Amino acid sequence: MKFRYKVLISNIILLSIAIGTVGYFMINRSFQLSLDNQIKNAIEENNILQSMVEYNLLDEVNERNSDYSTGFQEIGREVSSTMSANQTQVFIVFNGKTMYSSVSDAVPPSATLWENTAIGKKGYEITTEGDDMYVTVTSASTFLDKTLNIINKRNITDTYLLISQQSNYFRILLVIVLALCSVTMYVISRLLTKPLEHLNEVSSTFGQGNYNVRANIFSRDEVGTLANTYNEMAQAVSDHVDELKDMVVRKDQFVADFTHEIKTPMTSIIGYADTLRSKELSRENQIMAASYIFNESKRLESMSHKLFDFIHTKENVITFAPISTLVLVEKAATSVTPEYKKRNLNLIINVEGSKIMGDIDLLTSAFINLLDNARKASSEGSEVILSGKATDTGYLFKIQDFGTGISEEHLSKICDEFYMIDKSRSRREGGAGLGLSLASAIFSSHNAKFSISSTVGEGTCMSIEFGGSHEE
């Protein structure tokens, strides 16, 4: 069952119970007041009848001073004539005997009523005769040492008819009110639940793989808050899915690029090795073939080391320890110095002594890769500047070369695995496009900010900013 129908049915039930309860008590209270008023009028009538009968009986006794029993009929007719308009029956009972009845065929009052009424007291009862309802009131007094009961029987059928009519009218009114309220509540509940239905449809569409769908709900209530939370969640999931897709693509591309990169040196190694094995070559050609095999093997070795560092950085927890910036730079510079001398490059080092936290071996490998990339980009005889200084937030390294530079289109991809701007030059220099990606991964694992700025024809500046440095 839909939520709006549950809301509708629940409201109708609660409304029916509320209106029905209020109506019941109001009608019952109205009936009780009307009935009490009828009983009160009947008692007042009885008081009047009692006074008139007793007064006339005293006169009868004083005038005749003899048999007064014949006077009950005359007295009864006289006093009952005043009550005829009110549909009231009058009975006079003297010493347990009915002396007068205003209606000949009337049902006499129950003897239990007037027999149990004490002298000076009044009693009443409500009885049903056919379709009519009556309230009967009796008084008890002493006349000539005998009990005199004056009884009036009042028809109160109209009171019961009125309560019945009110009940019927209330039922009709209740049905009309419930019908109108049901229609109104259905419209309101539909309007209130429409955003939830929209959110449900959006969720279903999202669950089927459409990660771009969003909930267009702009209310400021709880539903609007829920929609905003859903949109934030959906955006986070969508971003994560895009990230996973990109990761899968990158892994596939990584495997493809790695296969391609390893195929080229392996082909050369196999080719030259087969040539050495199967042909008689001059000493010069043997040295040339062996050199190719050696260089390509060294390239494969370099690639394997970088891949190992790359995987280690991605998948292992790094143990941080204090590192001297001077020691770190010295180790990296020592490793690249021979290659720099071959190209007649001048490596200028201007580093302040300080402490940073990290893994010295991984960071050394990262700086070697950056310095090696600066070497490859620089022309023979130029210089590369490695500087470092403490900042308010940590420590900042910069590696500046004055070489070919990197264009804007390549700058955003330069840290991708196996990405090479000039593949022929990179392979000639022994590269495989893993240097900057490895360095970037290492710096990221150390929570260091790595950025590259470059101008074509002017050079490239690579910045690495570490947090929380300490002066030596």
Per-residue pLDDT of the chain (472 residues; tens, 9 = 90+): 777 778 788 888 888 899 889 988 998 999 899 999 989 988 998 898 888 888 888 877 676 555 556 678 888 888 877 765 557 888 888 888 888 888 776 677 778 887 888 888 888 998 888 888 899 999 998 887 888 888 888 888 888 888 888 889 988 988 898 889 888 888 888 887 788 777 788 888 878 878 788 878 777 777 778 878 878 888 888 888 888 887 777 666 556 555 655 665 677 678 778 888 888 878 888 788 788 788 777 767 766 665 666 565 555 566 788 989 999 999 888 878 888 888 899 999 999 999 998 888 778 878 888 888 888 888 888 899 999 998 888 899 999 988 887 777 666 656 555 444 444 444 444 444 455 777 777 888 888 888 888 888 888 898 999 986 555 5
67's tokens: 């048999």
pLDDT of res. 291? 81
Tell me the domain boundaries of the chain.
3-164, 317-471
pLDDT of res. 36? 92
pLDDT of res. 410? 61
pLDDT of res. 40? 92
Does the domain formed by 317-471 have CATH 3.30.565.10? yes
Instruction: Please tell me the CATH code under which domain 3-164 is placed.
Output: 3.30.450.20
439/445 Cα distance (integer angstroms): 10
81/73 Cα distance (integer angstroms): 12
Q: For the sheet with 354-358, list strands across it.
A: 321-324, 354-358, 470-471
